[in-house]
Amino acid sequence: MRRGRFTGYWLMLPAALWLGVFFVIPFYSLLATSLYDPEGSVLTGYDVTYHVANFWDAISEHWDELFRSLWYAGAATLICAALGYLLAYAIAFKAGRWRNFLLVLVIAPFFTSFLVRTLSWKLILADDGFVVDTLQTLHLMGEDGRLLATPVAVIAGLVYNFLPFMVLPLYASLEKIDGRLVEAASDLYASPTRGFLKVTLPLSMPGLVAGTLLTFIPAAGDYINAQLLGSTNQRMVGNVIQDLFTDTGDYAAAGALSVTLMAIIVGLVVIYIRKAGTEELL
Residue 254 lies in a domain: yes
Query: Which of 217, 215, 214, 239 is CA-nearest to residue 226?
Result: 239
Question: Is residue 142 within 8 Å of residue 127, measured between CB atoms?
Answer: no
Residue 112 has pLDDT above 70, yes or no: yes
* 177 confidence band (pLDDT: 50, 70, 90): confident
pLDDT band at 84 (very low <50, low <70, confident <90, very high): very high
24 located within any domain: no
For residues 72 and 155, what is the distance between their CA atoms, to the nearest angstrom? 6
> 45: which DSSP letter?
B
Residue that wins the pLDDT comparison between 113 and 87: 87
The verdict on residue 19 lying in a domain is no
Q: What percent of the chain has pLDDT over 70?
A: 94
When pLDDT is cut at 50, 70 and 90, the band that residue 282 belongs to is: very low
pLDDT at residue 1 greater than cutoff 60: no
Predicted TM-score of the model (pTM):
0.86
Q: Point out the least confidently predicted range of 87-91, 98-102, 106-110, 181-185.
A: 181-185
Residue 150 CB partners (closer than 8 Å, separation 6+): 230, 234
Structural domain tally of the chain? 1
Predicted local distance difference test score (pLDDT) of residue 207: 92
Kindly indicate the confidence band of residue 280, based on its pLDDT and cuts at 50, 70 and 90: very low
Residue 254: is its pLDDT beyond 60?
Answer: yes
pLDDT level of residue 281 (50, 70, 90 thresholds): very low
% of the chain with per-residue pLDDT over 90: 37
Query: Rounded mean pLDDT of 139-149?
Result: 82
170 within domain boundaries: yes
Taking the CA atoms of the chain, what radius of gyration do you get in angstroms? Answer: 23
- Tell me the CATH number at 240: 1.10.3720.10
pLDDT at 111 over 90: no
**Residue 34 located in a structural domain:** no
- Per-residue model confidence (pLDDT) at position 212: 94
Please give the average per-residue pLDDT across 231-241, as a whole number.
90
Q: Where are the alpha helices (DSSP H) in 90-150?
A: 99-107, 114-124, 130-137
Residues 6+ apart with CB under 8 A from 208: 81, 85, 169, 170, 173
In a domain, 202, yes or no: yes
| Whether pLDDT at 154 is above 90 | yes
Does 44 or 240 have the greater pLDDT score? 240
More confident residue, 32 or 78: 78
pLDDT of 4: 60
Encode pLDDT of 14-64 as tens digits: 888 998 888 888 888 888 888 887 776 666 666 777 778 888 988 888 899
Residues 232-260: what's their mean pLDDT?
89
For residue 35, tell me if it sits in a domain: no
- Residue 11 DSSP SS3: helix
Average pLDDT, the chain: 86
Are 117 and 160 spatial neighbours (Cβ–Cβ below 8 Å)?
yes
User: Which residue range is the domain that position 251 belongs to?
Assistant: 63-281
| Any domain includes 182 | yes
